[in-house]
Amino acid sequence: MMSDRARRKLLVANWKMHFVRAQALEYLRVFTERVRGVQKTEIVLAPPFTLLETVGRALHGTGIKLAAQDLFYEREGAFTGEISAIMLKDLGCAYVIVGHSERRRLLGETDEIINKKLRAALDAQIAAILCVGETLEERRAGRTHAVLETQMRGALAGLRLPSPSEGRGDGGEGECLVISYEPVWAIGTGVNAAPEEAEASALFIRELVAQLFNTEIAQRIRILYGGSVKPENFGGFVQQPNIDGALVGGASLDPEAFAQMAKIAERL
């Protein structure tokens, strides 16, 4: 069910904690040149907070969108070190990554916190890229889908998503939520999931979205795969009927490699 190739492909670079301004500008000089002519595929860059303004300015007029890697759920106040959705909006962020496994694992982010962050993003009309995925132990115990279901139900509890036709949200397709399936054991390890395995999880996620919301949202929502994606394996993922693109960490730090993926997506 529910494969709809009308969904626009989406490629997100998660730079994580890399680059200072000069490096980012050098990257963009190479990258924007290489992806000139890429139009069908939506490209998003998620630099660290410190680079959002610099990268945002440099991307002006390129069609490439800006994302933050995280946000805090309060609007403003005494929250030392935190960044609100309004601040991200002010810098031109169209997207924000929420619930990345590194934050869940290293910074104790729970589904409840993630739920609040999603609400904050939706309120500010920033499209959230929600990351979900199982650990190696959970996978070995055959609990992958159970874990995905718990994470999705927790993260999305009580959220009202406008239907895509309402066009609210600032994502490239006017949506306000993208889901990235990111098996924790595949992130930064060089061991990627098999495309068929990632597809099974993406389909599970899409069916769950239909249950939690409705079939229109489920048909339209874009689901990414993330975890050791590189030019050599990227095509295998985006060819799957329920995978609409990728969230790329390590390989996105090389502008040539990331541009190559954008071109592959464009051809498929």
Catalytically annotated residues: 100, 182
The reply on whether position 133 binds ligand PGA by CB under 6 A is: no
Select 32 or 228, whichever has its Cβ closest to ligand PGA. Answer: 228
Binding-site member from 249, 258, 259, 260 for ligand PGA (CB under 6 A): 249
The reply on whether position 14 binds ligand PGA by CB under 6 A is: yes
Q: How many residues line the site for ligand PGA (CB under 6 A)? A: 13
Beta bridge pairs of residue 250: none
The reply on whether position 228 binds ligand PGA by CB under 6 A is: yes
Select 14 or 84, whichever has its Cβ closest to ligand PGA. Answer: 14
The reply on whether position 248 binds ligand PGA by CB under 6 A is: yes
Binding-site member from 183, 250, 259, 261 for ligand PGA (CB under 6 A): 250
The reply on whether position 229 binds ligand PGA by CB under 6 A is: yes
The CB-nearest residue to ligand PGA is: 249
Phi then psi for 95, rounded to 5 degrees? -130, 160
The reply on whether position 188 binds ligand PGA by CB under 6 A is: yes
The reply on whether position 260 binds ligand PGA by CB under 6 A is: no
Please report, as ranges, the residues that interact with ligand PGA according to CB under 6 A.
Answer: 14, 182, 187-188, 226-229, 247-251
